[in-house]
Every structure is written in C-alpha cells, then in structure tokens.
Structure 1
Amino acid sequence: MKSMHSIDLETVEMTLDIMKYAINRISNTSPDLSKPKKEEELLKLVGETVTEKGIGGEEAFRLFKDVLVKASVPVDHPRHLAFVPAAPTRAAILFDLVTSAASIHGAYWMTGGGGIFCENQAMKWLVSLTGLPENAFGVFTSGGTAANLSAMIAAREYWRTLDDQNKSLKALVITSMGAHSSVKSMAKVIDADIITVDDHEEHKLTGEALQNTISTLSEFDRKRLFAVVATGGTTNAGIIDELDHIAEICKTEKLWFHVDAAYGGGALAAPSVRPLFKGIEKADSITIDPHKWMFSPYDCGAVIYKNMELARNAHSQKGSYLDIFKDEGAQGFNPSDYQIQLTRRLRGLPLWYSLAMHGTKKYTEAIERGLSLAQNAAKQIEQMPHVELIREPGLSCVLFKRIGWTPEDYRDWTYKNHDEGFALVTPTKWITNSTNETCARFCFINPDTTEKDIEDILKTML
C-alpha cells in the first residue's frame, strides 16, 4: 500500500498545481473581493471532504479553488479598508511557503538555530525602532493577543517575587477604555481585575487620568495593582496614549509599563509620526504585530522586553525530555523561554526575508504611504458636502460620518459594497459629547490603495 509520505506522480502533479496557483495569486494585485457563505451552503456545495479513503488531492484542491477560497475575504485587496487589514509583501508570502517546506521547529536553538538566527536579525530591527536599552530583545508570537498575554504573565510573575503576600492576591491592571479587546481577554486568562480609564475627551489614557485613578484606589487595591497597559495606536482610531507621562508615573509607582502597539507599532518606522511615541523607550514590554503594518503574512506578532531575564523566569518550561535543550552543547537563544508557547513555527522568517530583500527604507516608505492615504482621505472628506470628519486621522485610521445616516444605513451600505465586490468598509462607534455615534472607518495599510479608490468609496455614500 502506498504511503501518504511517498513521492509519486500524483505528489509531483499536486506540487506543480499548487505552485501555479500560488504564483497566480501572488501576482494578482486586485483579487476578487469575495464574501463568506453560510456553513450549510458550503456543505451542500462541497460535501464531506474528510473521509476514510480521502477524496484525492486533485479534487480537494479543486474544491478549494472553485468554492472555498471564494467564500473568504482576501485581506490584501486594496479596497479592503475594514478592521486592520494586511498587505504582506510578495517576498514574505513566498518565504512563508519556504518556512513550511523547511520543516524547522523554532522553539529551541538546538533544533532551529539557523532559522532563529534569521528571526533574531529581524527582531533587532524591531527593537531598534523602540529605542529600548541595549539589552532589550524579544520573540515572535502568533499575534498581539499572545504577545500581550506573554508580557502580562512576565509582569505578574515579577510582581509576585517582590512580596510573598502578592502570591495570594488577585492582581489588578489599569488600561484605557480604548485598549484592544485582547487586553481585557488577557486579564481574564490570568485571573486579574482590570480598571479602564481615559480623559473622556480624546479617549486616550493620560498621565493625569492615570495618576488620579491610582490616587483614589483603596489601600488593598493599590497593593494588588501591578501593571499599566498603554496603547500605541488604538485599532479603532489610531490614538496614542500619553506614553511619556505614563512611563514616569509607572516608574514612581513601581508598576510594570506595557505598551500595546500591535497595530500602531509599524509607525515607529515612519519619521513623520515617530515623535508621537515618545516614552515608548521607557516601557518594560511592548507588543508589535508584523502581520499588521509590517507586511508579514498571518500569523506574526512580537513581544519585546526591556529585561529578558524577567520574561525567562516567567516562561521557561521544565521537563525531563527538555533538559537537553538547556545543556551547554545545545546552547543558544531559545524563543520558547520568553513567551507562552513551547511548540512554535519560525513566524519571523517571512519578515526577515522581506527585510533582507528590500531593506528597511522600503518599509519606511510603505508605512508612510498609509499615513499619507489617511491624510488624503481626510482632505477629500472635508471637500465633500455629504460626509464629515469625526476627528482628525489617527495614524492611518480615519473616522467619518455620512450626514443624516442611521446605524442601519451604514450597515446596508457596507453589505451593498461588499456584495458587489467593490469594497469592504465597515462601521464603528465613537463617543461624542457622551453620545455613542455610529460612523464609518477607514484603516489604510496597503500601499497599493489609491486616492481614486478613496474617492470612489466616498461617492458610494451619495
């Protein structure tokens, strides 16, 4: 009986088919803006695909190409401006294929030394953007959620070492109301309470608002407060908290200072807005997602620590079958020692290859392009009578409203544009004068988006 690991004619033909598809997809700069179908409908179209004897590689691939991929939304479409889209470089996409083909386990240097070396080259650049001290470093994770969680576990474990009584206390974190949902989710996972606060005007965490909140805590709550999570670019509006002032308060109050820059961290490479991040260099830990604004394929996040030893103390796993990885003969940088995952693929390799191929200057240019598109969108909105800016652009996010529209109008407009395969732009909410207002939102990541795309989308609101 033929083994499923054997190399035969069917495998060769399957390889050629897949490579042909990949080449065609990578070279397609404007793929169809597909839309999802209900699970029941997909099941009727393709049937059961996992069977005892299999349906064959050719049939499975046909179903994917003809049905299943067409029920998915390509995040790199130039008129996909919803959520936080992505636009991985062709180089990064190709090397994602190489990463899988190379079949390297990236948890320990003993098994993944060469690949980890490449990841670390890319990480050096990320760390250099933050301005953190010389010994700061980081590791690649599956995304911002895993990065935030890894950082908070390191923070909590460090806090517990400061006083034995802390081990019996339920920890407490302060963050802003605009913080990403993963921050609140992270608090649940580590069984910590969370206080959300902002200045109620710009919807950012300010030094004054933070200090006032800390000052009003009870003695018990102050004792269990261990960290502050600031945001370096909220996903809804691109708002950057007062990082510098927050850092000084955290230093005085002896609190761990974490900055969630999962979306906004890419802008650290853009000179036009880099000053807005003043104070990030004082953070104890930082989250950045290369699969957002650094043009990597999913899934690639990163967590960076000022003191790597504190992270290692929290995350390094022990087990008899793992002892060899700690042996002198296998020594090297072990990424699994600094984040929650043990088994890991080399997520940073596609970013490394793209950086090595194009150079960091090209990254700066592409990120500045997203910022420029946001400014152009604001200018166009100001010149059109039927739409109105909610606030000035925050990084590459633009909030605006169609005058006279209801929440239902925004919903119907979103579905109409998507159903027609024209654009995907979704509504959000913004609090103005204590009123939670529905509005539209652009988020510019893809440098292939054009000013004409923006104009055409705005005209669909007429």
Structure 2
Amino acid sequence: MHNIDIASIEMTLDVMKYAIDRITRTSPQMGRPKKEAELRELVGETITSKGIGGENAFRLFRDVLVKATVPIDHPRHLAFVPAAPSRAAILFDLVTSASSIHGAYWMEGAGGIFCENEAMKWLVSLTGLPEPAFGVFTSGGTAANLSALVTAREHWRKHPENQNSKGLIITSVGAHSSVKAMAKVIDVDLFLVETEDAMTGQALQAVLKTLDTQQRKRLFAVVATGGTTNAGIIDDLSGIAEICETEKLWFHVDAAYGGGALAADSVRHLFNGIEKADSITIDPHKWLFSPYDCGAVIYKNPEQAKHAHAQQGSYLDIFKDKGAQGFNPSDYQIQLTRRVRGMPLWFSLAMHGTDKYKWAVEQGISLANLAGRLITENPVVELVREPSLSCVLFRRKGWTPEDYRDWTYKNHREGFALVTPTKWKQGDTYETVARFCFINPHTTEEDIIAILRTMG
C-alpha cells in the first residue's frame, strides 16, 4: 500500500491529467445530486476486502461520482456563498497535501507556517488592526468564530466573579448561523437584536438599556457582522465599537464572507471601525480565492487567544522548548492537529500579487451592481433592496414560494445554473425572494441575462 509501483505511477498520470483538465476549465460541467440508491446501483460496493483497484475506483469517481456534485467555481453557481479558487491556489493545494506538513507547531512545520504567516500579515493589514495583532488559519468561519468566542469568554472569566457565571452574547438576527450554534457549544446565552438591516450602535445601546442587572453582569461580547451571508449587509462597526469600548465588552466581527471586500478600495470605507475589533473572522475560501477549507481568525491581542487555547500535555512539552521556538498555530485556535491550509493562499498571493486580488474582488462587486441594473430594466423582476457587496436580492413579480423552488430545481436539473431562493422580512412577514451572490470573476453579463430569462 505504501510502495511505489507501476500501477501507482499510472494512477498518478491519470490523476494529473484529470486535475489539469479540470483546472483549465473555466466553465466545468454542472453536476446534480442523485439519490444514494441510484449512486449505489451505478458504482456498486467500493470498499471491499481485496480492493477494487485504483484505476477502477478513479474511473467511478470521474465518470459517475463527480458528476453528482456541483462545482463551486461554476460561473453560474450563484447560490449560498460560492467560491472561485485561483488556479495557482488549487495547484498548490496539491503540493500542500503531497508535502505532508503537520501545521500545529513550528518545530515540525516551520517552513509551511512561515508561508501561512506571510499571507496572514496581508490579511491583518487589510483590517487596519494595530500591532501586535495577528491570526491563524482555521477550517472555516465556524471554527474561527468558535475560537474567537472561546477567547472572549476566557478573557471575561479571568475575573473571579465571572468564573461560575453563564455568559451572555449580543448579536443580530442577521448574524451567521454559526454564531448562534457556537453560543450553544460554549454554553452561553444569546440576545438577538431584531433588525433585518444593519445592526447600529443606536440599536445596540437600546438593547443594553433593556438588560437587567444580572444580564448586564453576564454580558461579555458583542458579535457584529461584516457582510451578512443573506444580503451582504455590514453592521455599524464604528458605532458598535465605540459602545463596546465604553462598556468594556469584547467586540468580535464576523466577516467570514464580506471580509474579502476589505481588499476592494470601492467599499473599504463601509468597514470603518473594524480596526477596533478584538477579533475578526475572514474566510479566504470564500472571497479570497482559496480552496476549501481555509478560514482565519485574527486577534487584536494574540496572547489572549494563547491563554485560552494553548494545550498542555507531557508529549507536547518539547514543542515549548527553547530549541523549537516559533509561532505555534495550535496555541491560537481550537484545533491541535491541522494542515497548513494557508499555504495555497500564500502561493497564489506570491504568484499574482495583491493588486490582482483587489481586481478580482472588485469584479464581484461590479457584477452585483450590473445585475442590479439588469433587474431594474427587466419588467418581470424587481430589486428587493439595493445590491450590497456581491449580494443581490430580487423578486419575480407574481411568484409564490413554490415557483421559486420549482425554478431552482429546473435550472439545476438541466445543468444550467444553481441559484437558490432565500427569505427577506417585509413588515411582520417573511417573503421568498431570489438571490445572487457573485464571487467568480468568470461570471459574465450574458450569464446573468440568461438566468433572468429563465424566469419568463
């Protein structure tokens, strides 16, 4: 199994041929899911006592299984938050895997961690956080938000009167689902500010006035959003930061999706105040063109994160030794064993330069604004709200929720596009609407027109 033989060499050539073909396609085939029973009938049993052979296993993947997936970088994949990893990042992801680098401690992974840290310096520079701010790459926004909130809670619990208390966090109803999920994981209560639009400092101040004495004592953090997943809305970061500073509350900004826009000069001012955050989440695998999985958490004071996350064990002592001194990523987030997932971002940045990244992010914003104009000019559709970042919410006049659902499945079934509906609050009710999220610079005006045409 670990030997190099002619079969392994032939398989390597087959895999590389497939990878090169896939990487060079800017518009790959859009697959669609099949039922598990259907896939089972097509491929049979793949895990057997004697094995089915690499050539056969790869053929099943190439000819059947991958066609039951939707490529996230298809130019007409505009659902959820898609991704469009650069070719350089994809290729270096292969190098990252082949290099077998353990990225938890400097002693084992110094060269790879150095690469990650170079990319992290650029991310930190986008936020405007002062020295000694720094961060670490995680598996995504969920892990980054969890790491940040654990750090915030442990910082709060340093005070003896808080050690046996259940904490309280404030965020908005538009916050990402992971924030609400992480509150359960770390066993803290969550207070939601009821606003479909941006959470303002004024709204936060109003909420603080409603808290009783015990709730106020338990409150330790406010989570603002730098680009909501649903609509690209950016909270009033400056106003919230000012209140958090006055009230001595941890200020976390979840910019997992929207953080990529920090690189875009056209919208950078919308994030003013983020430089006052205690922690920030950004996902390079969303709008900074890295392969899955690559999130990041950045701290104003990394030592606070180290206090919360550094693991202890006799088998780990050597990593703390003077002879192994260096940056240890495992000390700053929840994961011990980790791959050096920031290396593909580093290579792509090093290869292309940051100006190309700025251009690519600006493309997503330009596509959203273009879609907004095309929708305004189309008599059968209308904007729900003005485009924000790379998100566009719009409605097909006269459609029911079932119409949106059927339209989504028809386009998907035909391998044409993946555009899914969402909900938007209108008064006291939620309306089903359509949604675009633009990430891929290869999406064209013709793609947008063609998708709108399918609405009749």
* Residue identity in the other structure for 2:330: S
Deviates more, 1:85-94 or 1:34-43: 34-43
**Any idea what SS the aligned residue of 1:168 has?**
coil
| C-alpha RMSD of matched pairs (Å) | 0.6
* Residue identity in the other structure for 1:240: I
Contact map agreement 1:177 1:203 (CA 8 A) in 2: no
After TM superposition, list the pairs within 5 Å mapping 1:353-392 onto structure 2: 353-392=347-386
After TM superposition, list the pairs within 5 Å mapping 1:16-55 onto structure 2: 16-55=13-52
Cα distance in 1 for partners of 2:381, 2:364 equals 21
After TM superposition, list the pairs within 5 Å mapping 1:48-197 onto structure 2: 48-161=45-158, 163-197=159-193
**Residues 330-349 of structure 1: CA deviation (Å, up to 9, x unaligned):** 00000000000000000000
Q: Name which of 440, 443, 446 aligns with 2:440.
A: 446
Structure 2 unaligned blocks of 5 or more: none
Q: Name which of 336, 340, 345 aligns with 2:330.
A: 336
Cα distance in 1 for partners of 2:161, 2:48 equals 55
Does the alignment pair 1:314 with 2:308? yes
* Residue identity in the other structure for 2:101: I
After TM superposition, list the pairs within 5 Å mapping 1:218-297 onto structure 2: 218-297=212-291
Does the alignment pair 1:412 with 2:429? no
* Residue identity in the other structure for 1:424: L
* Residue identity in the other structure for 1:460: T
* Residue identity in the other structure for 1:137: F
In the TM superposition, what is the alpha-carbon distance from 1:165 to its structure 2 partner?
2.2
Cα distance in 2 for partners of 1:203, 1:384 equals 25
Cα distance in 2 for partners of 1:214, 1:168 equals 22
Q: Name which of 193, 202, 209 aligns with 2:203.
A: 209
In the TM superposition, what is the alpha-carbon distance from 1:164 to its structure 2 partner?
1.2
Structure 1 unaligned blocks of 5 or more: none
In the TM superposition, what is the alpha-carbon distance from 1:435 to its structure 2 partner?
2.1
**Any idea what SS the aligned residue of 2:317 has?**
helix
Contact map agreement 1:143 1:289 (CA 8 A) in 2: yes
Runs of 4+ aligned residues of structure 1 deviating over 4 Å after TM superposition are: none
**Residues 279-317 of structure 1: CA deviation (Å, up to 9, x unaligned):** 000000000000000000000000000000000000000
* Residue identity in the other structure for 1:89: S
Cα distance in 1 for partners of 2:285, 2:50 equals 37
Cα distance in 2 for partners of 1:203, 1:239 equals 7
**Any idea what SS the aligned residue of 1:236 has?**
coil
**Residues 46-78 of structure 1: CA deviation (Å, up to 9, x unaligned):** 111111111111111011001100001100000
Cα distance in 2 for partners of 1:48, 1:139 equals 40
In the TM superposition, what is the alpha-carbon distance from 1:167 to its structure 2 partner?
1.3
Taking structure 1 as the reference length, what is the TM-score of the superposition?
A: 0.98
